[in-house]
């Protein structure tokens, strides 16, 4: 079986994606012209291909350590 640390969001690129989206939404308070839907849409559009590639590359740096059942991840 593959070793997975108990809490390992660094192995799941979508966690970093959601972090960026939430950060963009929380950056400024909603005003009367804003809706949560419009803010969410804008935050999702701020995620770039380069962001996604970076998150996947970051997760890949941990894969061999999990395969080798190394402790001390993160």
The tens digit of pLDDT for each residue in 35-68 reads: 889 999 999 999 999 999 999 999 999 888 887 8
CA dihedral (9, 14, 42, 30) positive or negative: negative
Q: Is 38 helix (H, G, I), strand (E, B) or coil?
A: helix
| Number of C-beta neighbours around residue 16 at 10 A | 19
Residue 1 lies in a domain: no
Range of the domain at 39: 10-27+35-67
Residue 73 lies in a domain: no
Residue 45 lies in a domain: yes
Residue 72 lies in a domain: no
Residue 46 lies in a domain: yes
**What are phi and psi for residue 41, nearest 5 degrees?**
-60, -45
Residue 57 lies in a domain: yes
18: which residues sit within 8 A by CB, 6+ positions away?
Answer: none
Total structural domains in the chain?
1
What is the per-residue pLDDT for 1? 63
The structure tokens listed for 74 are 């993160």
Residue 21 lies in a domain: yes
CA–CA separation, 38 vs 42, rounded Å?
A: 6
């Amino acid at each position: 079986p593959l070793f997975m640390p108990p809490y390992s969001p660094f192995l799941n690129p979508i966690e970093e994606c959601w972090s960026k989206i939430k950060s963009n939404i929380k950056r400024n308070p909603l005003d009367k012209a804003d809706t949560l839907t419009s803010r969410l849409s804008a935050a999702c559009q701020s995620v770039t291909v380069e962001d996604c590639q970076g998150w996947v590359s970051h997760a890949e740096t941990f894969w061999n350590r999990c395969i080798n059942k190394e402790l001390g991840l993160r």
